[in-house]
Amino acid sequence: MKRSEFEALVADAIDRLPDWVHTALENIEVHVQEEADEYQDPDGEGLLGLYLGIPLPERGADYSAELPDVIYLFRRPHAELGLPPDELRVEVERTLIHEIAHYFGIDDDHLDEIGWG
């Protein structure tokens, strides 16, 4: 899958988010990257996505003039799943929602408990 096709999947996934999610997202950007670098994935796990920033519940009254948080979606690991287009679209949406959950302060343990790990 070409990068432009993957970027279109990501844009569609963002557009499909409920309005309340769009309203709640503040100071955050979504970036497509080929794959995680060694800083983002020091254990070489082949991450599908990554949230870097200050989760919403941890933002205090002094939170201002901060650089945007970033959600990374990694093209190559998604492509290497070898999924048909419809299943890949669902996986991209699932990855985006997983990373947005981190923005909302939901950790991996809780995501595992509710089936989103």
Q: Which residues contact 110 (CB under 8 A, 6 or more apart)?
A: none
| pTM, entire model | 0.88
Segments of the chain with pLDDT less than 70: 110-111, 114-117
pLDDT digits (tens, 9 = 90+) for 39-62: 999 999 989 999 999 888 887 788
Fold exhibited by the domain 3-113: Zincin-like (3.30.2010)
Amino acid 29: pLDDT: 95
Q: Is 105 left (phi over 0), alpha (psi -120 to 50) or beta?
A: left
Cβ 53 vs Cβ 103: under 8 Å:
yes
3-state SS class at 102: helix
Amino acid 78: pLDDT: 97
Query: Two tokens at 63?
Result: 């939170």
Amino acid 69: pLDDT: 92
- Domain extents for the chain? 3-113
Amino acid 59: pLDDT: 77
Amino acid 56: pLDDT: 84
Amino acid 86: pLDDT: 94
The candidate with the shortest Cα–Cα distance to 96, out of 44, 45, 27, 25, is 25
Amino acid 65: pLDDT: 77
Amino acid 84: pLDDT: 96
